[in-house]
Amino acid sequence: FSFFDYHLMASAAAVDTMPDALRQSRYHMKRCFARFTGTGRRLMKFQQLNNEIEQTIEDKLERSKVLEGSLGDILSSTQEAAVVPPYVAFAIRHNPGVWDYVKVHADNLSVDIITSTDYLKFKERIFDENWAKDEYALEIDFGVFDTCTPRVALSSSIGNGLGYVSKFMTSKLGGNSESAKPLIEYLLTLDHHGEKLMINEILNTVEKLQAALVMAEVYVSALPKDTPYQDFEQKLKEWGFEKGWGDNTERVAQTMKILSEILQAPDPINMEAFFSRLPVIYNIVIFSIHGYFGQADVLGLPDTGGQVVYILDQVKALEEELLLRIKQQGLKAKPKILVVTRLIPDAKGNKCNQEMEPIANTMHSHILRVPFNTEKGVLGPWDSTAKILELMEGKPDLIIGNYTDGNIVASMVASKLGVTHGTIAHALEKTKYEDSDVKWRDLDSKYHFSCQFTADMIAMNAADFIITSTYQEIAGSKNRPGQYESHTAFTMPGLYRVVSGINVFDPKFNIASPGADQSVYFPFTEKQKRFTKFQPAIEELLFSKEENDQHIGFLADKKKPIIFSMARLDTVKNTTGLTEWYGKNKRLRNLVNLVIVGGFFDPSKSKDREEMAEIKKMHSLIEKYQLKGQIRWIAAQTDRYRNSELYRFIADTKGAFVQPALYEAFGLTVIEAMNCGLPTFATNQGGPAEIIVDGVSGFHIDPNNGDQASNKIANFFEKCQGDRKYWNTMSQGGLKRINECYTWKIYANKVLNMGLSYGFWRQLNKEQKQAKQRYIDMLYNLQFRKLAKNLAIPSEEDKPKAKVQPQ
């Protein structure tokens, strides 16, 4: 069976039981369905369905009898139901990435298994009947390109794309020497600035290469282990080997052995190891366009948060890894990394109006800012490609996009130059707002989702690989669909219907989680390294009695531990939620003080709708729960060195960090706090649920259950009072987790390996990639350009939060 058969069989088996199950509970089910259809056309979510069932079958025992077995299983996996009387169509998600659609007749309870396309059409009838009926409504189907590339089969394998691509390459290249030919051809193309690498034309067949490797390996292994490459370079060259195998005998012999083994009988471990040693990547371009991209004084400006921190740290880590690899392969080349962003003429005192800026703590990396606006506010035809080619003295070897706007530009430049291309999103907008697809018309003037979702879909399909920070970003959790998964099948009535937007089983998906800069965020116990010069300022920030534009509220009892939270004042960050939980929970208020960093205090000065509302809410909560004396609210902070010392200062008070977001894509503050040894409570909605192992390396809290969350925090502090060691255990648990899974070293290693393996994989699938690219070009030309053209250029005041800037 193919992958598709396998999935269809598995899921069909589950919904196959539905007719019988409905028949068995016919009396109750007919009443439930009558209720579902009673109010007419609408879209119902799981919770609403559940409420209706509870109200229809009031008796608890009876209800649980009806819902035990397959009916309960199906209903509890239902994400939504589209009601168009007399039918109710269900979108059922059995497992991450695995969906089924069924249509039930409310009167006779007959069941039809339908395709995703039919489900979408049915759903459209709630929002735009005429469009739903239009035979020629635009359908987008990237699934048609899926027929010949392998896919992973299990939900649990999603996100480990690199591992699977190595396996797929293994089976493609194995078998006989003819199959391994593409690898030889690839090696023969490798050069750097005209200098050949790895092998030359002498070794132009698998047989010749195999024989030469045996000879060379014997020769090299007989030399002392650390003989520099130059000492035997000449000999190897005579046999057809060029630079790039290693810097000394040991490394060269290892690389040769790995390739010999691959040619003898390939296996995925050697395959990945071999590609990780290939001297292919020197120059990287990263597009990060949205918000203010700068190295200082930008955090907290509109749209500017963790992604800037992420890119800057990423560049530093990638450069270090590139330098190491280039040296280990015995080469002298210098890497170059360019972060391309937009130039903002009115930069509000930071450096976003400078064209070039070297990146601090790197040797070869720069920010390049290109103007996107003319003085008239019109998007100009500025071509970043020409500038990149000039600065890099040629094509980059890898292009990475970040977030919607960076990703679409990256995909265009990469396609134009024929360069390997990765994308990063971390926060795709689609899942942030309920029904943002079907209700796109209502939201478009504010958020431009038509443009944004099109851009996202183009970029994710064009990319050779996708870097995510967590599994949930791709395929969600048991109950919640992932951000990418939400692009599998969706519809924007009146615009287009996406019957297959992305397949989360595509091996292009990879989890590579970011870290925190460990030279800044290090444990509070490393006393000699601490940035003690900030301590007086931090004391003032936390404890002075005065209220000013930097802080309001005060802490009457300085001896209490502090619970600390720091975030942009967005609704989704839920800082006000935490303040309210604290306000309500007397036990917690007795145990600890609350310190919040975020936003500022005068709502009339905010340019952001959400921030304005949150500022007002904070003030009213402080008033309502009489928090002064127990709360300190500090305005947004921009100095990461001082912030790191603030985390450590809180750790000195034996406090904790709390991240209460309603949803968090990854959550850099969580790993910053954990790196500083501060026990951390973080939302179970999104990335932090994966970062923290509950009760071992920190704690999960449910942002939708404030009482439970605040009691969990209170329990921790009570337990710490009785058991002094407990706080340390949690602090160390957090640090252990970070060092095992969340460091920039681990990240850079993975991402470069992706660039190298997918660089070859795209060559192996050239034809299919080209066909897909033509389809993407058409979507870009016929849809995206039109949508982008219609975007009004926003004035400063009403700038939307989610925005797309075309190239």
Name the residues that contact ligand UDP, by CB under 6 A. Answer: 299-300, 305-307, 309, 566-568, 597-598, 636-638, 640, 643, 666-669, 672
Number of CB atoms found within 10 A of residue 607's CB: 12
**What sign does the CA torsion over 308, 309, 312, 313 have?**
negative
Give strand ranges (E) for 405-550: 420-424, 465-468, 490-492, 496-500, 509-511
On whether the CB atoms of residues 453 and 430 are closer than 8 A, the answer is: yes
Q: How far is the CB of 463 from ligand LCN (least distance, A)?
A: 17
Three-state DSSP string of 142-205:
HHHHCCCCCCCCCHHHCCEHHHHHHHHHHHHHCCCCCCCHHHHHHHHHCEECCEEECECHHHCC
Q: Nearer Cβ to ligand LCN, position 686 or 759?
A: 686
Binding segment for ligand LCN among 319-327, 503-511, 539-547, 666-674 (CB under 6 A)? 666-674
Give strand ranges (E) for 273-364: 283-288, 336-343, 356-358
Q: Which residue is nearest to ligand LCN (CB)?
A: 306
Q: How far is the CB of 303 from ligand UDP (least distance, A)?
A: 9
Q: How far is CA 179 from each of CA 171, 182, 206, 209, 262, rounded to the nearest angstrom?
A: 9, 7, 9, 14, 12
Q: How far is the CB of 801 from ligand UDP (least distance, A)?
A: 11
On whether the CB atoms of residues 16 and 8 are closer than 8 A, the answer is: no
Answer for which of 71, 140, 427, 492 binds ligand LCN (CB under 6 A) is 427
Q: How far is the CB of 422 from ligand LCN (least distance, A)?
A: 14
Binding segment for ligand LCN among 82-90, 210-218, 650-658, 663-671 (CB under 6 A)? 663-671
On whether the CB atoms of residues 690 and 472 are closer than 8 A, the answer is: yes
Residues across the chain: 807
Q: Nearer Cβ to ligand UDP, position 160 or 637?
A: 637
Site residues (CB under 6 A) for ligand LCN, limited to 184-223: none
Q: How far is the CB of 535 from ligand UDP (least distance, A)?
A: 18
Q: Nearer Cβ to ligand UDP, position 150 or 660?
A: 660
Residues near 533 by beta carbon (within 8 Å), at least 6 away in sequence: none
Which letter does DSSP use for residue 694 in this model? B
Binding segment for ligand LCN among 78-86, 304-312, 330-338, 598-606 (CB under 6 A)? 304-312
Among ligand LCN, ligand UDP, none, what does residue 577 contact (CB within 5–8 Å per kind)? none
Q: How far is the CB of 426 from ligand LCN (least distance, A)?
A: 4
Among ligand LCN, ligand UDP, none, what does residue 262 contact (CB within 5–8 Å per kind)? none
Number of CB atoms found within 10 A of residue 172's CB: 17
Binding segment for ligand LCN among 116-124, 152-160, 404-412, 664-672 (CB under 6 A)? 664-672
Q: Which region, left, alpha or beta, applies to residue 553 given φ > 0 means left and ψ of -120 to 50 means alpha?
A: left
Transcribe 380-422 into DSSP letters.
P---HHHHHHHHHTS--SEEEEEHHHHHHHHHHHHHHHT-EEE
Pairing status of strand 356-358 against strand 656-659: unpaired
Q: Nearer Cβ to ligand LCN, position 425 or 634?
A: 425
Q: How far is the CB of 311 from ligand LCN (least distance, A)?
A: 9
Q: Which two tokens stand for residue 455?
A: 């851009």
What is the distance in angstroms between the CA of the first residue and the CA of the last residue of the chain? 44
By the rule CB under 6 A, 666 interacts with ligand LCN = yes
Answer for which of 170, 407, 461, 469 binds ligand LCN (CB under 6 A) is 469
By the rule CB under 6 A, 463 interacts with ligand LCN = no
Among ligand UDP, ligand LCN, none, what does residue 802 contact (CB within 5–8 Å per kind)? none
On whether the CB atoms of residues 176 and 207 are closer than 8 A, the answer is: no
By the rule CB under 6 A, 656 interacts with ligand LCN = no
Answer for which of 161, 667, 703, 733 binds ligand LCN (CB under 6 A) is 667
Q: Which two tokens stand for residue 238?
A: 């005579």
Q: How far is the CB of 667 from ligand UDP (least distance, A)?
A: 5
By the rule CB under 6 A, 665 interacts with ligand LCN = yes
Among ligand UDP, ligand LCN, none, what does residue 618 contact (CB within 5–8 Å per kind)? none
Of 306, 310, 292, 350, the residue nearest 570 (C-alpha)? 306
Residue bearing tokens 């139901």: 81
Residue bearing tokens 């740290």: 313
On whether the CB atoms of residues 101 and 119 are closer than 8 A, the answer is: yes
Among ligand UDP, ligand LCN, none, what does residue 597 contact (CB within 5–8 Å per kind)? ligand UDP
Q: How far is the CB of 293 from ligand LCN (least distance, A)?
A: 13
- What is the per-residue binding string for ligand LCN in 509-548, x denoting contact by CB under 6 A? -----x----------------------------------
Q: How far is the CB of 688 from ligand UDP (least distance, A)?
A: 10
Q: Nearer Cβ to ligand UDP, position 489 or 572?
A: 572
Q: 3-class DSSP state for residue 630?
A: strand
Among ligand UDP, ligand LCN, none, what does residue 350 contact (CB within 5–8 Å per kind)? none
Q: Nearer Cβ to ligand LCN, position 310 or 581?
A: 310
Count Cα atoms within 13 angstroms, Cβ side, for 576: 19
86 cis-preceded (ω within 30 degrees of 0)? yes
Q: Nearer Cβ to ligand LCN, position 34 or 741?
A: 741
Among ligand LCN, ligand UDP, none, what does residue 266 contact (CB within 5–8 Å per kind)? none
Of 339, 379, 439, 485, the residue nearest 791 (C-alpha)? 379
By the rule CB under 6 A, 310 interacts with ligand LCN = yes
Q: Nearer Cβ to ligand UDP, position 95 or 637?
A: 637
Among ligand LCN, ligand UDP, none, what does residue 469 contact (CB within 5–8 Å per kind)? ligand LCN
Query: Dmax of the chain from CA atoms?
Result: 87
Q: Nearer Cβ to ligand UDP, position 308 or 756?
A: 308
- 529-535: long-range contacts at Cβ-Cβ below 8 A with a sequence spacing of 24 or more? 530/645, 530/648, 531/641, 531/642, 531/644, 531/645, 534/641, 534/642, 534/645, 534/646, 535/645, 535/649
Binding segment for ligand LCN among 52-60, 217-225, 305-313, 328-336 (CB under 6 A)? 305-313
How far apart CA 594 and CA 572 sit, in angstroms, is 19
Q: Nearer Cβ to ligand LCN, position 308 or 588?
A: 308
* Count, residues near ligand LCN per rule CB under 6 A: 13
By the rule CB under 6 A, 306 interacts with ligand LCN = yes
Binding segment for ligand LCN among 161-169, 215-223, 661-669, 756-764 (CB under 6 A)? 661-669
Site residues (CB under 6 A) for ligand LCN, limited to 678-737: 687
Binding segment for ligand LCN among 283-291, 331-339, 346-354, 660-668 (CB under 6 A)? 660-668
Residue bearing tokens 């229809």: 56
Binding site for ligand LCN (CB under 6 A): 306-307, 310, 426-427, 469, 514, 664-668, 687
